[in-house]
Amino acid sequence: VSATVTGASGLEPDRRATAAAFETFVARHGPDLRVALTARFGAEVGAEVMADVVALAWERWASVCAMENPAGYLFRAGQSAARRYRRRPVQLGVVPSQEPPEFDPRLPRILEQLPDRQRVAVVLVCVYDWTAPAAAAVLGISESAVRTHVRRGLAALRRELGARDK
């Protein structure tokens, strides 16, 4: 019997490759997912849910990495994970910092009060310039539904801003 030494030290090659693939996944999909979760749940809860879904992705990495639309899966998983947090009004945490302001300072507050789907669609498409197909993939709805939510959301924003102007 000859001496057999398998792997002197450090991570095993399989685990190293898995960790690298996961880091690549998070770097690629993490920012978009964080934006979508923030638009859906607000900045604070969105960050909490983001941490939860990243942990979930690692836990179920074998199946997540094989998905066609992992970001969409994790966004939906985030909606389940968010149930553990107390229900509270969505707060985007947006604070205008320049004078004159870059945008109507009333806008964040009105945006927070939109229905969830309209707010998410408006943030993704109008604030972050996502295409309707990209937003539809993450939100798990059709492209036409995204456009409808954006249209209705913008109409509600105009209506509310106009009403407050009067």
Partner 1 sequence: MTLETDLRNMRPALDRAIAGAATVERRPAAPRTIGAGSRRRAAVFAFAVAVCVAAFVGIVVRLDSSSRHGDGVPPLDTSGVTHPTASTTNEPTTTTSTEPLSTTSPQSAVPLSSVDWGSVSYPIAPRCGDVFHPPVTVGHVGYAAPAGGVHLAIVEVACTHGAGTPPVAVYVYDGASSTSTPHLAATLVAASDGWQANALRVDGSAVSLPVYGFSSASIPNCCPDVRTTLVWHWSGSRYELVSAVPPHVTRPAYGGY
**Residues at the interface with partner 1 (CB under 8 A):** 1-12, 15, 34-35, 38, 43-44, 46-48, 50-51, 83-86, 92-97, 102-104, 107-108, 122-123, 126-129, 154, 157-158, 161
Query: What is the nearest approach in angstroms of partner 1 to the Cβ of residue 142?
Result: 22
When the beta carbons of 123 and 135 are compared against partner 1, the nearer one is: 123
Residues in the chain: 166
**Which residues are CB-neighbours of 39 under 8 A, at least 6 positions away?**
46, 92, 119, 120, 123, 124
Which tokens hold the place of 78? 């985030």
Report in angstroms how near the CB of residue 123 gets to partner 1 at its nearest. Answer: 7
The distance of closest approach from Cβ of residue 68 to partner 1 in the complex, given in angstroms and rounded to an integer, is 26
In the complex, the smallest distance separating the C-beta of residue 104 from partner 1, rounded to whole angstroms, is: 5
CA distance 151 to 47: 27
Q: Is the peptide bond before 100 cis (omega within 30 degrees of 0)?
A: yes
- Please identify, using beta-carbon distances, which residue of 92 and 136 lies nearer to partner 1: 92
The residue among 83 and 166 lying less far from partner 1, judged by its C-beta, is 83
Q: Which is nearer to partner 1, 1 or 163 (CB)?
A: 1
- Residue 49, Cβ density class (10 Å: 0-12 exposed, 13-18 middle, ≥19 buried): buried
φ, ψ (nearest 5 deg) of residue 33: -65, -40
Residue 44 Cβ vs partner 1, minimum distance, rounded to whole Å: 5
Decide whether 54 or 136 has the Cβ nearer to partner 1: 54
The dihedral over CA atoms of 66, 68, 72, 76, expressed in degrees to the nearest 10, equals -50
